[in-house]
Structure 1
Amino acid sequence: MRTPYDFDPGCTRRASVFTWLAMASVVTTVNLAYAGENFTVSSADFSDGGKIGSRQIFNDAGCKGPNQSPSLTWRNAPATTRSFAITIFDRDAPARGWWHWAVANIPASVKSLPENASASGALRKLGAIEARNDFNIDGYGGPCPPPGNPHRYVITVYALNVDTLPLAQGRPAALFDREISGSTLGSAQITVTYGR
Structure 2
Amino acid sequence: MEINVRGIEDGQPIPEEFAFGVYNEQDHMSFGPNKNPEVTWDKVPEGTKSFVVMMFDPDVPSIADDANQEGKVVSKDIPRVDFFHWLLVDLPASSSRVPEGVDSDGVIPKGKEPGPGPVGIRGVNNFTQFLAGNPDMAGTYGGYDGPCPPWNDEIIHHYHYEVHALDVESLGLSGEFDGAAVREAMAGHVLASARVTGTYTLNPDLR
Residue in 2 that maps onto 1:124:
117
Residue in 2 that maps onto 1:99:
84
**Residue 139 of structure 2 is aligned to residue 133 of structure 1:** no
Residue in 1 that maps onto 2:35:
68
Q: 8 Å contact 1:151–1:193 — kept in the other structure?
A: yes
What TM-score comes out, normalization by structure 2 length? 0.69
Distance, in Å, in 1 between the alignment partners of 2:198 and 2:187 is 22
Distance, in Å, in 1 between the alignment partners of 2:183 and 2:30 is 26
Offset from partner CA, 1:45-91 (integer Å, 9 cap, x none)? 21111111211101599442111111011110111110100111101
Identity percentage of aligned residues: 33
Distance, in Å, in 2 between the alignment partners of 1:143 and 1:70 is 12
Higher CA-based Rg: 1
After the TM superposition, which residues 12-161 of structure 1 pair with which residues of structure 2 at under 5 Å, given as runs? 39-59=1-21, 62-95=29-62, 96-119=81-104, 124-126=117-119, 128-136=120-128, 137-147=141-151, 148=153, 149-161=155-167
* Larger deviation, residues 75-84 vs 110-119: 110-119
Number of aligned residue pairs: give it: 156
Please identify which structure carries the higher strand content: 2
Q: 8 Å contact 1:99–1:174 — kept in the other structure?
A: no
Q: 8 Å contact 2:103–2:118 — kept in the other structure?
A: no
Offset from partner CA, 1:20-45 (integer Å, 9 cap, x none)? xxxxxxxxxxxxxxxxxxx1101222
**Residue 191 of structure 2 is aligned to residue 185 of structure 1:** yes
Runs of 4+ in 1 over 4 A off after TM superposition: none
* Larger deviation, residues 146-155 vs 80-89: 146-155
Q: 8 Å contact 1:41–1:189 — kept in the other structure?
A: yes
Q: 8 Å contact 1:102–1:130 — kept in the other structure?
A: yes
Distance, in Å, in 1 between the alignment partners of 2:142 and 2:179 is 9
Query: Mind listing any 5+ residue stretches in structure 2 that lack a counterpart?
Result: 23-27, 63-80, 106-111, 129-140, 203-207
